Chains A and B, each alone.
Chain A
Amino acid sequence: MENKITQLRKGILELAILGCLSKERHYGYSLVKTISGDTEIDLTEGTIYPILGRLAKEGLVQTEWVESSQGPPRKYYTLTLKGEESFRVLEQEFRKLAAIVANAQSAPDRRARDAGDAHPVLSVTKETNNG
């Protein structure tokens, strides 16, 4: 299960990174802040670096060291043209997939209907556990 979550996260995280960078350039830490926002997302911050490394290798982002007014220099990431193109395609694909997931969730659940009358509480607990 752990592995599945990791897989799912990596893909989505990559998309989120591309999305952030499509708006403005970022350095690693600002990217983390932007992605997690105000939410208390349990994000291991270090995971973005392998992803950024791969994106750079694939030529989707380009990097630049910029001196900071305070502290060590920051490594800024910018989307390349290829990166922008990739983001567009991936985002479209993601919307389709999200729609599929939403459809599957709103579909009538036979199990819940059958069990619902007899054990309403039980069926709810079950769903939360499975979800």
Chain B
Amino acid sequence: MANGFSGPVAQIVDNYLERLKKGLKGIAVKDQDELVKEIHSHIYESFRGDPTEDEVARILKVLDKLGEPATVISARMPEVMVTLGKKKKLPFLILAGLLIAIFALPLGTSALGVAVGLIIGVLALVLSFYIVAFALILTGWLSAVIMTIRLFSPEFLEPYMDIYPLVPDPTFNTVIYILGALLIAAIGLGMLWLGTRMMRGIRFVFRLLFEKLRSWRKKSAAPAPSPAS
């Protein structure tokens, strides 16, 4: 990459800018590029202004003074993204949430405890919803397959199966059961579809809550400075 440096220095700079870029995932690409460009310019100017002889030592000093990419990024991204965007750390977040839920009440920050409890509750609800959906799909399809086998070779599964005759004609009866099974599977698929809609809604509500909570906390943490006079 042509970054105005050469040799090992260029590599060190590239590595830093790459790490910076990684940390910026989730914000608008235009803003990402702009900040990376700006930091690149900073590194260049800082490097140029330092009279140290050894170039590698010089670039390391420059980056050390600049600080880790996290320093440059922090408070720049919308906080909802910083906190909710780290999907890779989901298990950790859940653990942290549980710990907060358990310990927050005795610590006196009961509102936080209740909030986290609610979040966990909703997550559990979502999980069970999906489990039900998948169970329905699985049951429906398997039943349909078994019924179809029965339709073509009734004697194959005969010793193991005994279905209630809804109509006198056994073939027609089996067809009704197949349709029923497919209906169950369809309900499962419908739930999945509904789930994606639901997830969108839940995400939206969570984000909204988070923003509100944050602005409310900011307000209460830093009360308006009263006139000193």
Cross-chain contact A47 with B67 (CB below 8 angstroms): yes
Query: A residues 41-91 with Cβ under 8 Å of B?
Result: 44-47, 49-51, 53-54, 68, 70-75
Shortest Cβ distance from residue B229 to the other chain A in the assembled complex, whole angstroms: 9
B interface, by DSSP: helix, strand, loop or mixed?
helix
Is residue B25 contacting chain A, with contact meaning CB distance below 8 A? Answer: no
A96 within 8 A of B: yes
B42: chain A residues at CB < 8 Å are 28-29, 32, 45
The verdict on A44 contacting B41 (CB below 8 Å), with A53-B76, A96-B228 known, is no
Asked if A114 lies at the interface with its beta carbon under 8 angstroms from chain B, I say no
CA distance in complex: A93, B37 (Å):
35
Complex contact B45–A71 (CB within 8 A) = yes
A50 partner, pick from B49, B66, B73, beta carbons under 8 A: B73
- Interface band, chain B: 20 to 34
- Within the complex, the shortest CB–CB distance from B77 to chain A, in Å, comes to 9
Interface mask (B42-55 → A, CB under 8 Å = 1, otherwise 0): 10111011000000
Given the known interface contacts A44-B67, A53-B76, the answer about A28 and B38 at a Cβ–Cβ threshold of 8 Å is yes
Interface residue total, chain A, C-beta cutoff 8 A: 26
Task: Using A49-B76, A50-B74 as known contacts, say yes or no to A72 and B37 having CB atoms under 8 A apart.
Answer: yes
Q: Find the residue from A28, A29, A50, A74 having the highest chain B CB count within 10 A.
A: A29
Asked if A45 contacts B44 (CB within 8 A), the reply is no
B78: min CB distance to chain A, Å: 10
Given contacts A53-B75, A72-B4, 19 further A-B pairs with CB under 8 A are A27-B45, A28-B41, A29-B42, A29-B45, A46-B66, A46-B68, A46-B69, A47-B67, A47-B71, A49-B76, A50-B71, A50-B72, A50-B76, A53-B35, A54-B75, A54-B76, A72-B40, A75-B34, A100-B228
